[in-house]
Structure 1
Amino acid sequence: MNNMMNDRAILQEVGRRLNRCRIDQGLTQARLASEAGVAKRTVERIEAGESAQTSNLVRILRVLGLLDAFVAALPESGPRPMELLRLHGKERRRASSKRSRDSGDSWQWGDGE
């Protein structure tokens, strides 16, 4: 798979690979669906390259023993080196707005009256 593939082609390739893993493990679609807690039609749709809910995909990956590999493909985001210096080792809790902090106009109590 690569970035040049369209979404449909990627979904079809993912479905083909999941199908191969399921067969290699000797599982029927019905058995995989039962163990994953999803409908058999959901397994059929995913293997056919159709769209599915992420939670259903996660359940199927867990049963097939592929969840760790899936999660490993998504790198953890952490603060950039310069941000670490600015934060002095503190972990960032939320994103800030895009407004300028150095506009020269500082807000004071009573400004809204």
Structure 2
Amino acid sequence: MSASFFTSSGSVVVSNKRSAALAEFALVCARRCIKEHEHTLFVSKFESESSSIFPGYDFDLEELFSTREERQFWSDVFATLAFDLDAGTLGNQEDRTWAPSAASDARRISGLLAAAALRPCG
């Protein structure tokens, strides 16, 4: 079974285990990326959404992150997540075989969100 992160312009399909890990790691990175009060609200909203993730969950990124500012924030978070995975600072440190593909998934999700931030909302 698989899950996805998608926008109107594309999707990233991953395993259920990978989607849960990306969501969890994104929250870790997001907490470090908070620079404004508004960012705290973005993180709280995603924390609430993450509590209802189930196998096969599809993240509608444009619905979940409904404003340009929110989409840009999360694009930055997923880019940070990709960097951290490449640097080996997140996840299982003993077996890093999964990290390059997870970093690639995070970069692709970041790109979807960056493109969505450029389109009109609503």
> Do these two structures clear the TM 0.5 threshold for a shared fold by scoring above it?
no
- Structure with higher Rg: it is 1
Structure with the largest fraction of strand: 2
Structure with the largest fraction of helix: 2
Higher RCO (CA-CA < 8 Å; seq separation 6+) = 2
Structure-1-length-normalised TM-score: 0.34
Structure-2-length-normalised TM-score: 0.32
